[in-house]
Amino acid sequence: MESKPRAAASTTKTGAQIVVDTLIEEGVDTMFGYIGGVVLPLFDKLYDAPINFIVPRHEQGGCHMADAYARVSGKVGVVVATSGPGACNLVTGLATANMDSIPLVALTGQVRTELIGNDAFQEADTTGITRPVTKYNCIVEDVKDLARTIREAFHIASTGRKGPVLIDLPVDVAVSKYKADGPDEMDLPGYRVRTEGHARQISTAAKAINKSQQPVLYVGGGVISANASKELRALAEKANLPVTMTLLGLGSYDQTKPKSLDMLGMHGSAYANYAVQECDLLIAVGARFDDRVTGKIAAFAPNAKIIHIDIDPASISKNVRVDIPVVGDAKEILRELAKGVEHHERKKWFDKIADWKKKFPFRYDLDSKTIKPQYVIDEICSQTKNKAIVTTGVGQNQMWAAQFYKFTKPRQLISSGGLGTMGFGLPAAIGAQIADPKATVVDIDGDHSFNMTMTELATAVEHNLPIKVCILNNGYMGMVRQWQELFYGKRYSKTYLANPDYADLARALGAIGMTVDKKADVPKTVKEMLAQKKPCVVDFKVDREENVWPMVPSGKSLNEMDGLDILERLI
Amino acid sequence: MKHLISALVENKPGVLAHIAGMFAARAFNIDSLVVGRTEDPKLSRMTIVVVGDDRVVEQVRKQLAKVVPVVKVQDFVGQPIVARDLMLVSVVAPPEKRPEIVSLVEMFRGKVVDIGQKTLMIEVSGPESKIDAFINACKPYGIKSVARTGTIAMPRQAKSSPDAYGRL
């Protein structure tokens, strides 16, 4: 394992000082977190540290900020919380990062070692609670293990299939003193990452690609995590392959290019879903055959041979049987794979895809008198020239963002895919803007998603972050309402909440607030919003019962999409 | 089908919780799980009996290997191994039945380890099927209680394949 340059370790330091010094050695310059009793020693050392420290209004918000910071910057996000309630409030954020394989290091305070297990004030079994939602966690009970454990945490979080690592730090360890007496290397006998793909498997995969008449590349967040977009593009161009992306994979291949099939799955494009169902070779890269992607698993890509390139061996053949597995780093493997592939025209296949694209594009009613939510996104996409960083809530807002914003670069769409965490959008926009201060950051959110974490608007105001929050306000928990409409006889059980006036709310918190209820006002309001230098919230009063189409109902196969007739009538 | 999986794990706090938690979270069924020290004080060995088809057990193996403090995982299926359980069983044994029971114990190469007024405590070790057979043989006398360790196993070095009982 590589050793990083580190400061002379000859002086006696407290545990808290060791934490801060080790974080700085790991290259941390930005952190998110919330103070509390048992983390006082740590925050005392952070007082003088050269670290940009962002305090959220709730630990969950802080964790999502660190997560989005990691997604945008490619670095490890760091979040701190106190014991008990502080640590418990991280759980949703950790689970979000864990499901989407985002590198995070969470530091939590813990009560004094001798009190652990005694139900002390603000005590919770943090490692017990967070074990299933982290890649790894541990408690440090001896100050001499502290620096090493932190280094190990960064290593585990940022290598292999990335993920969150939590370190629980009892307050007595944070104040005890220790003089390191030599190098303290990482000691992880059970943690090995295979990055280099098996050469014979790669050449088998290349042959399968060369032989294929109807191939599809199906790529996920792993390509973005591995910074392999360039290599993906090279392979798709050289071998002439259409590319479909998962929600988390969007942006890994430029969606404005003709070979892009956009997103697949439950609310994916009809052309991607048809192509996957009819392909003879599916080349999965950094994707995990999630149920929202595959639909009915037994009927998924029935005629296809499957190549699966993934860093996580446990992902291979977990949900579908894979014919040619290649375990390793996507960047290296795609580069090697591209060497072995030939260009084939595959005219019939591309013609077929072009027909589907012509017949079933993503569409909405352009002549509607109401503001269609898709129209707002269309407008944002064209005014930001496909270049904004887009964060989302979860539900219809997220699916429309994925369908109607055409992403051109990786790390542009920041969304909670696996866990589907409502309330992710606003704190994610804050984390994204901190990671990339020059970028235009737009949170495309739902009213109910926004309600969950809107307290973080105060954080954005405090740091004067020019994030743009677009609430697609239909007054419903839209996606759940859609399911109730389709599958529960329009019985809208508890999907309606009384909302505040979001523009007033934004102004009360010190942000800019606007409301749009006329379709004609959308373009100029979007323009005005994008020009703001302060946090800005726009309440778009959108069509209340618009649905996301197409839709593969739960348990159906990908080609059994609902709503295609509705889309066809819109021509 | 039953699979015997052997995992070398780091001997430190929380490891059992990491592994037990993974099994619970992924809805894998454990038949038995035994943890004990090894020749290396830094490592423990877990022997886990899992029931499932090959695909499920393959996932178990991979998910186990993914747990950070797990150093090495082996699935012993199809390999020549020696597998053993240890059982303590308390059998109802009135004085007139004791000679019968003791001869049964001898047949199974067990040991009487405690004598009570109404019961005998017997120690038997061997492959699981032998332990099961002994329990069945004792049933007519009445079984008060049973404590079993679960299976531990090691691969054989000998080239010739033994049967399921580990006999050559």
pLDDT tens digits along B31-53: 999 999 999 999 999 999 998 88
Statement: A373-549 belongs to CATH 3.40.50.970: yes
Mean pLDDT on A512-540 = 98
The third-level CATH classification (topology) of the domain covering A199-359 is: Rossmann fold (3.40.50)
Band the pLDDT of A95: cuts 50, 70, 90: very high
- Segment (H or E) for A461: helix A457-462
A132–B21 CB contact, under 8 Å: yes
Mean pLDDT on A128-140 = 97
- pLDDT at A3 exceeding the cut of 60: no
Helix runs in A329-442, H state only:
330-340, 347-359, 373-383, 396-404, 425-435
Sign, CA dihedral A227-A229-A230-A231, equals: positive
B68–A131 CB contact, under 8 Å: no
pLDDT tens digits along A457-495: 999 999 999 999 999 999 999 999 999 999 999 999 999
What ipTM, to 2 d.p.?
A: 0.88
* Rounded Cα distance, B5 and B48, in Å: 5
- pLDDT at A571 exceeding the cut of 80: no
Mean pLDDT on A411-433 = 98
Mean pLDDT on A507-517 = 98
* Rounded Cα distance, A263 and A400, in Å: 11
How high is the pLDDT of residue B119?
A: 96
- pLDDT at A166 exceeding the cut of 60: yes
Q: What percent of chain A has pLDDT over 90?
A: 96
Band the pLDDT of B158: cuts 50, 70, 90: low
Look up residue B60 and give its DSSP letter. Answer: H
Band the pLDDT of A182: cuts 50, 70, 90: confident
A132–B63 CB contact, under 8 Å: no
ω before A242 within 30° of 0 (cis)?
no
- pLDDT at B161 exceeding the cut of 70: no
Place of tokens 């918000």: A61
**A155: nearest CA partner in chain B:** B68
Place of tokens 């698993």: A297
How high is the pLDDT of residue B13?
A: 86
Among residues A533, A542, A528, A547, which one has the least CA distance to residue A486? A547
Full-model pTM: 0.95
Cα A19 versus chain centre, distance: 27
A139 contacts in chain B (CB < 8 Å) = 13-14
- Asked if residues A20 and A42 have their Cβ atoms less than 8 Å apart, the reply is yes
- pLDDT at A523 exceeding the cut of 90: yes
- pLDDT at A96 exceeding the cut of 60: yes
- pLDDT at B125 exceeding the cut of 50: yes
How high is the pLDDT of residue A93?
A: 98
Question: Nearest by CB to A189, which of B55, B62, B71?
Answer: B71
Distance from CA of A524 to the nearest CA of B (A): 50
Position A498, amino acid: A
B14–A138 CB contact, under 8 Å: yes
What the block records as the tokens of B105 is 């114990």
- pLDDT at B166 exceeding the cut of 60: no
**A165: nearest CA partner in chain B:** B68
- pLDDT at A205 exceeding the cut of 80: yes
B68–A318 CB contact, under 8 Å: no
B66–A138 CB contact, under 8 Å: no
- pLDDT at B164 exceeding the cut of 70: no
Domains and CATH numbers, chain B: 2-75 (3.30.70.260), 81-153 (3.30.70.1150)
Pick the CATH number of A12-179 from 3.40.50.970, 1.20.210.10, 3.40.50.12780, 3.40.50.2300: 3.40.50.970
How high is the pLDDT of residue A184?
A: 82
Give the contacts of A490 (CB within 8 A, at least 6 positions apart): A484
* Best to test chain A binding among B9, B45, B55, B68 (most A CBs inside 10 Å): B68
B71–A312 CB contact, under 8 Å: no
**A321: nearest CA partner in chain B:** B55
How high is the pLDDT of residue A6?
A: 55
Question: Nearest by CB to A131, which of B18, B70, B71?
Answer: B18
A191–B25 CB contact, under 8 Å: no
pLDDT tens digits along A388-415: 999 999 999 999 999 999 999 999 999 9
What does the DSSP assignment read for A26-94? TT--EEEE---GGGHHHHHHHTTSS-EEE--SSHHHHHHHHHHHHHHHSS-EEEEE-TTHHHHHTHHHH
Question: Nearest by CB to B66, which of A127, A132, A314?
Answer: A314
CB-side exposure of A23: number of CA atoms within 13 Å?
Answer: 29
pLDDT tens digits along A18-30: 999 999 999 999 9
- Segment (H or E) for A531: helix A522-531
| Residues on A contacting B at a C-beta cutoff of 8 Å | 127-128, 131-132, 135-136, 138-139, 141, 156, 188-191, 312-314, 316-318, 321
Domain coordinates in residue numbering, chain A:
12-179, 199-359, 373-549
B58–A317 CB contact, under 8 Å: yes
